[in-house]
């Protein structure tokens, strides 16, 4: 039984997934996201392939087990949408994509930094209105700025490399330090408090879990420099968004560039241009003059999509064939 239910399939990934599959498995492409209401669509399938916006919480996994689902693969590096402990209790192994293109995320983060520091969005709007004045577009250099990198895994490491090229002073925090970053890019590891106190720019590249939920909160913002730039292309839940709005309004955070939002599920990856959205916090972020928000597409490059598809099919192959899977998550 080699039928796989692929939930939340998007047009941008279909070509890559089908090419990587090369008719190995019967892929049931489902546009709906996985939830308690859509579990039944996986009937007769050996496994399910999820996207980051899917719901694989305990109640959903209980239902998947009843449907006879034998494994779960997620087409993402993040797996906070999956209750891997309950999955383990149900003997349903879970695999993820540990790294597809750290450059894609890192380069998007740098793009947000540059767009904010040089007022590129405002300048573009003015030019399109035939307004070529520049008095309100005074920006800042990245060179010489102190940048705090929280999380120095694959993406954070690429950030350090790029920022070193800009001539930035790089501070970093991680539970596991990367000695090569210290040697090659003069990265200085320090405490979170020092990151908050000393950085001109902070960029988040940490996973979301119980210990990192609202890592940036009212206290964090209270000890930061005034007019700091904050970048988040990791997970929305790393930031207490209400506290962020307060920090934006009181001038602690001068600029915020984000590709994620803590309550994005059910909003991002959907088109609400006709009916609009009702989330007041998200609306406040979108309409803030010093905020640049993109819709969770930092990963969206051809190189990354190909890598995600190939790793996903590889994970499925391991589970179907009973081979050891190096990408299997431990509870």
Round to whole Å and give the CA distance between 112 and 115. 5
Cα separations in angstroms, 302 against 8, 101, 103, 134, 232: 19, 10, 12, 36, 22
Q: List 102's β-bridge partners, or say none.
A: none
From the list 81, 119, 205, 296, the catalytic residue is 296
Round to whole Å and give the CA distance between 92 and 71. 5
Helices (H) and strands (E) in the chain, counts: 12, 12
**Contact by Cβ (8 Å): 190, 173:** yes
**Contact by Cβ (8 Å): 228, 202:** yes
From the list 182, 264, 270, 297, the catalytic residue is 264
Q: What are phi and psi of 13, to 5 degrees?
A: -110, -15
What the block records as the tokens of 188 is: 């200085």
Three-class SS state of 220: helix
Round to whole Å and give the CA distance between 89 and 190. 38
What the block records as the tokens of 179 is: 């000695």
Round to whole Å and give the CA distance between 94 and 97. 11
The number of angstroms, rounded, from the C-alpha of 210 to the middle of its chain's C-alpha atoms is 17
From the list 13, 81, 235, 262, the catalytic residue is 235
Q: Which residue has tokens 């309100």?
A: 136
Round to whole Å and give the CA distance between 83 and 80. 7
| Residue 81 a catalytic site member | no
| Residue 296 a catalytic site member | yes
Q: List 228's β-bridge partners, or say none.
A: 253
| Residue 197 a catalytic site member | no
**Contact by Cβ (8 Å): 38, 32:** yes
Catalytic positions are 235, 264, 296
């Amino acid at each position: 039984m080699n039928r796989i239910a692929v939930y939340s399939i998007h047009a941008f990934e279909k070509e890559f997934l089908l090419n990587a599959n090369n008719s190995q498995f019967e892929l049931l492409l489902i546009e709906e996201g996985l939830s308690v209401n859509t579990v039944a669509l996986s009937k007769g399938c050996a496994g399910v392939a999820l996207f980051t916006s899917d719901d694989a919480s305990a109640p959903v996994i209980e239902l998947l087990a009843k449907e006879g689902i034998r494994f779960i693969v997620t087409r993402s590096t993040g797996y906070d949408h999956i209750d891997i402990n309950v999955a383990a209790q149900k003997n349903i192994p879970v695999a993820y994509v540990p790294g597809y293109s750290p450059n894609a995320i890192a380069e998007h983060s740098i793009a947000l930094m540059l767009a904010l520091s040089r007022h590129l969005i405002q300048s573009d709007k003015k030019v399109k209105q035939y307004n070529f004045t520049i008095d309100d577009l005074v920006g800042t250099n990245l060179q010489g700025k102190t940048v705090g990198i929280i999380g120095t895994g694959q993406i954070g490491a690429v950030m350090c490399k790029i920022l070193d090229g800009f001539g930035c002073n790089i501070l970093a925090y991680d539970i596991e330090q990367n000695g090569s970053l210290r040697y090659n890019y003069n990265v200085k590891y320090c405490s979170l408090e020092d990151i908050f106190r000393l950085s001109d720019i902070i960029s988040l590249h940490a996973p979301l879990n119980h210990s990192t939920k609202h890592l940036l909160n009212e206290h964090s913002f209270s000890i930061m420099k005034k007019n700091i730039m904050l970048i988040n292309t990791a997970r929305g839940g790393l930031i207490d968004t209400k506290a962020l709005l307060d920090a934006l309004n009181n001038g602690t955070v001068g600029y915020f560039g984000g590709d994620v939002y803590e309550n994005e599920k059910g909003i991002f990856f959907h088109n609400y241009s006709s009916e609009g959205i009702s989330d007041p916090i998200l609306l406040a972020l979108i309409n803030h003059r010093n905020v640049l928000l993109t819709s969770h597409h930092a990963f969206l490059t051809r190189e990354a999509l190909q890598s995600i598809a190939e790793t996903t099919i590889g994970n499925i192959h391991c589970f179907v064939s009973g081979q050891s899977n190096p990408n299997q998550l431990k509870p």
